[in-house]
A = this chain, B = another copy of it.
Amino acid sequence: MANPVLVEVLRGNIVESRHRGSFCVMDADGHVVLSGGDIEAAVFPRSAVKAIQALPLLESGAADAFGFGNREIALACASHSGEPGHADLAKAMLAKAGLDETALECGEHWPMHQEAALDLARRGGSPTALHNNCSGKHSGFVCTCHHLGIDHRGYVGASHESQRMVRDAMETVTGAAHGEDVCGIDGCSIPTYAVPLKSLALGFARMATGVGFGQGRAVAAKRILAACMAEPFEVAGTDRMDTRLMRATGGRIFVKTGAEGVYCAAIPERGLGIAIKCDDGTTRASETSVAALLARLLGEQDALSPTLIELANPVMKNWNGIEVGRTRPVAGVF
Which residues of A are in contact with B by a Cβ distance under 8 Å?
2, 9, 11-12, 14, 16-20, 42, 44, 105-110, 114, 117-119, 121-122, 124, 132, 182-189, 192, 194, 260-261, 279-282, 285, 318-322, 324-325
Contacts and interface: CB of A to CB of B under 8 A. Distances in A.
A107 B322 CA distance: 10
Contacts of A42: 14
B280 A19 contact: yes
Contacts of A17: 260-261, 279-281
Given A2-B20, A16-B281, 13 more contacts: A11-B184, A12-B183, A14-B182, A17-B260, A121-B121, A132-B319, A184-B324, A185-B322, A185-B324, A187-B324, A188-B319, A280-B280, A282-B282
A44 to B, nearest CB: 5
Copies in the complex: 2
A9 B44 CA distance: 12
Contacts of A109: 319
A27 B279 CA distance: 33
Given A117-B118, A184-B16, A189 B319 contact: yes
Contacts of A189: 318-320, 322
Given A109-B319, A118-B121, A324 B16 contact: no
Nearest to A14: B194
Contact of A14 (B18, B44, B281): B44
Given A20-B20, A118-B121, A105 B320 contact: yes
28 contacts: A2-B20, A11-B184, A11-B185, A14-B42, A14-B44, A14-B182, A14-B184, A16-B184, A17-B260, A17-B281, A105-B320, A107-B320, A107-B321, A108-B319, A109-B319, A117-B118, A118-B118, A118-B121, A121-B122, A122-B122, A132-B319, A184-B324, A185-B322, A185-B324, A187-B318, A187-B319, A188-B318, A189-B319
